[in-house]
Amino acid sequence: GDSVTQMEGPVTLSEEAFLTINCTYTATGYPSLFWYVQYPGEGLQLLLKATKADDKGSNKGFEATYRKETTSFHLEKGSVQVSDSAVYFCALSRNAGGTSYGKLTFGQGTILTVHP
Amino acid sequence: GAVVSQHPSWVICKSGTSVKIECRSLDFQATTMFWYRQFPKQSLMLMATSNEGSKATYEQGVEKDKFLINHASLTLSTLTVTSAHPEDSSFYICSARDLRGPQVPQHFGDGTRLSIL
C-alpha cells in the first residue's frame, strides 16, 4: 500500500538557519504530494503541493520538489523564523480511481522548534 | 480560500456520554469528508470516509457502532462518539475534499479536543 516516511524529529534550529525535512514515499502510479503544517492546538494547513514529477511547490519561503526518480519530496527553507515552529506533515494522495481515491496518506510528522 | 469549520473545538464530558462533532464546508460543496484521530505527538490516523447521501466507509479496526458518521448534506458531516470512555479522549480532525478532485488538496478543520472524565 501507499506509505510516506519522514525524517524523525524533533528538529531544533536557531533563527535564520537552513531547514531540510526529508520525505520519501511509496505509491503506485503518480500521486500528488503535499506538505501540511500544524500549529499547536490547531488543525492542518496546506503549506505547498506538487502534482507531477519535477514540479516545485513553494509558499512562505518553503520549497519542495517532486522527485520521481528518488520518490522524494523534501521540504526546505533557507532561513527559518521562530514563527515556523510547528509540526510538519508530508502526505500523498492518489490521483487515479479506486477505493484510495482522494485519501491522504500522512507521514509521521516532524516537530520543528526554532529558537531566537 | 476554502474554509472548513469544526465544532466544538473543545469538549469535556463524563464517561458514558455521547458527543457529536460537526464539520462544515463553508464556501464549497464536499461530497466527501474525512475523519481523523490524532494522538499526542503522533500523526493523523484516518478513521472513516464520509460520503454524502450514503454510508461511511470505515478503516480497518475502527468501530462503526462507536463512531457514528452522518453526511446528510453537501456541506455537513457529523461524527458522534457514542457512550464515550476515557480511552476515546483524543484530538479529532475533519477534512473536506473539494469536488474538483484529489489534486486539489483537502481542507482541514481546526480539530476538536475531546476529554472524557
**Cell 522548534 sits on residue:** A113
Residue B102 forms contact with A (CB below 8 Å)? yes
Instruction: Give per-residue pLDDT as tens, A48-88.
Output: 999 889 999 999 999 999 999 999 999 999 999 999 999 99
Query: Across the interface, which of B32, B43, B113 has its CB nearest the CB of A108?
Result: B43
Check CB contact under 8 Å for A95 and B113. no
Residue numbers in B near A43 (CB within 8 A) = 4, 6, 93, 108-111
A73 vs B: CB within 8 A: no
Q: What is the Cα gyration radius of chain A?
A: 14
Phi and psi angles of residue B33, each rounded to the nearest 5 degrees, phi first: -125, 155
Nearest to B40 by CA among A41, A6, A45: A41
Residue type, B44: L
The pairing of beta strand B90-97 with beta strand B112-116 = antiparallel
Asked if B97 and B34 touch (Cβ cutoff 8 Å), the reply is yes
pLDDT one-digit tens code per residue, A86-103: 999 999 987 655 545 567
Residues of B in contact with A32 (CB under 8 A): 102-103, 105
Give the count of beta carbons closer than 10 Å to the beta carbon of residue B54. 9
Terminal CA-CA length for chain A: 41
Q: What is the pLDDT of residue A95?
A: 65
pLDDT tens-digit readout, B49-60: 988 888 899 999
If residue B93 lies in a helix (H) or strand (E), which one and from where to where? Answer: strand B90-97
Cross-strand pairs, A65: A56
Whether A106 contacts chain B with CB within 8 A? yes
DSSP three-state, residue A84 = helix
**A5-18: pLDDT as tens digits:** 998 889 999 999 99
User: Is some CB atom of chain B closer than 8 A to the CB atom of A88?
Assistant: no
pLDDT at B12: 96
